[in-house]
Amino acid sequence: MRNLIKTTAFLLAFAGCLQSAIAQVRIYPVFNSIISGRSINLLASGQIKNRHEFGGGLRININKYAHNDDQGNIYKKRMYATKPLHYFGVEGFYHVHFLQKLQHFDFFAFYDIQLVYSTTGNRMPRHYRNPLTGECELSEPFRHFGPFTWVEQNIGIGFTVDIWKNFFLTQRLGAGAHFILGEDPWLPNEIKPYWLAKSPFTWEFGYVLSVGLGYRFEPKKQKQ
């Protein structure tokens, strides 16, 4: 909680400093679902000339014990923090706005990069024969691998919609390449493309979906 309060104060101070240099400043927390897992991202941005928006902030990872699938994935939706450092990451992004003649909607294309250093949490189902009953039973030990450095990049489209005064809702949807750097000698039968077989590097094709509530520090200018 103390780290969250400090981060919020920093974002507010950062937004205040930007306000004198940039036409419009925004802050918004978003729920972020990405190929590695889920998080809450606390973001601040500056919009220049009502079209170009640059921003970034802190990512707070959310552990999830249950798996979204039973496909034996090693990295996809498997990020699981085991140390305080693993819970935090950073995000940077660029938005270019279009269809600006609409009064209460803003549409934009975006590039997004998120960096995290964390372990995975993998449920490893296996069958074994119980020596007492002779019956085949299922065991599901939970294993951690890593930590790995996750570099998650996406491009896509999004929009904001005004809801009340300077408050707005925002949503983004995109896809891209997600790089995972690092190795774990205990990974079971990890399959890599042949050109990466001897490299401490692998990748996943994935997506990002984020939804949040934001606030503009200046009244939105009327579009011409």
**Band of residue 129 on the pLDDT scale cut at 50, 70, 90:** low
Q: pLDDT tens digit string along 103-125? A: 788 899 999 999 999 999 887 66
Domain containing residue 191: 2-120+146-216
C-alpha 160/C-alpha 105 separation (Å) is 6
The answer to the question of residue 106 being in a domain is yes
DSSP category for residue 79: B
211 and 31 in contact (C-beta within 8 Å)?
Answer: yes
The answer to the question of residue 73 being in a domain is yes
Helices (H), the chain: 2-19
User: Domain with 91 in it: what CATH number?
Assistant: 2.40.160.20
Single-letter amino acid code for the residue at 124: M
Give ∠ CA 146-152-157 in degrees, rounded to 5: 155
The answer to the question of residue 134 being in a domain is no
Mean pLDDT across the stretch 24-35? 91
The answer to the question of residue 166 being in a domain is yes
User: Based on the structure, what is the number of domains in the chain?
Assistant: 1
C-alpha 12/C-alpha 6 separation (Å) is 10
The answer to the question of residue 205 being in a domain is yes
- pTM given for the model: 0.78
The answer to the question of residue 39 being in a domain is yes
Question: Which region holds residue 201: left if phi is over 0, alpha if psi is between -120 and 50, else beta?
Answer: beta
The answer to the question of residue 105 being in a domain is yes
The answer to the question of residue 57 being in a domain is yes
C-alpha 131/C-alpha 141 separation (Å) is 19
Predicted pLDDT at 198:
65
